Amino acid sequence: MQKTLVLGSTSPFRKELLERFRLDFIVDSPDIDETPLANEIPEDYVLRLSLEKAKAVAKRQPDSLIIASDQCSILNGVIRGKPENHENAIKQLTESSGQCVSFLTGLCLFDSSDDSYQLDLIPYFVDFRDLSATEIEAYLHAEEPYFCAGSFKSEGLGVTLFKSMRGDDPTSLIGLPLIRLAEMLREKKISLP
């Protein structure tokens, strides 16, 4: 009997990415506290949250494979979360202007039948152009990326803010690293085309 595949996220972006695999899955919200711990480094932060999200969903989803991920952006060693509003997005994009911003995405595939899991960290780097206040305002009004790490949607107009992008998996920048997830699923004998 095949296990139920569960996406432990309410993100429409992650759901859309997972749909590319053409697998049946359900969605369940992890609903956890995402506050960083004192002195927690970014790498540990996204790995911890990815695992905690998966474990939270696993409590409600027996005999399932739970996919959970978390992402943060980092500028000058400081974790930056989702802006959540226009003013914070202006601040984030202004700080990102002309800078290289790192994006770390934690990914967990958790088997609730035996509490085993695979956990990995996927980095991605974005070099921003020098952005004017007018460009920032115009972009934010066009896409309103207030619930996206870094205050942009790379799959949309956000790409116009960049000078370059570097990393092994561009889907990690959107929040669900499909290349690594495919490897994890194959390890659990899930067939992919």
Question: How far is Cα of residue 68 from the mean position of the Cα atoms in its chain?
Answer: 9
Tokens of 119: 């956990």
Tokens of 15: 């759901």
Q: Which of 70, 111, 115, 168 is catalytic?
A: 70
Three-state DSSP class for residue 95: helix
DSSP line for 31-72: ----PPPTT--HHHHHHHHHHHHHHHHHTT-TTEEEEEEEEE
Radius of gyration of the chain, Cα coordinates, nearest whole angstrom: 17
Q: Do the Cβ atoms of 92 and 149 come closer than 8 Å?
A: no
Q: Residue 169 corresponds to which amino acid?
A: D
Question: How far is Cα of residue 12 from the mean position of the Cα atoms in its chain?
Answer: 11
70 tagged catalytic = yes
Q: What are phi and psi of 74, to 5 degrees?
A: -130, 130
Tokens of 2: 């095949």
What length does the chain have?
193
Active site residues: 70
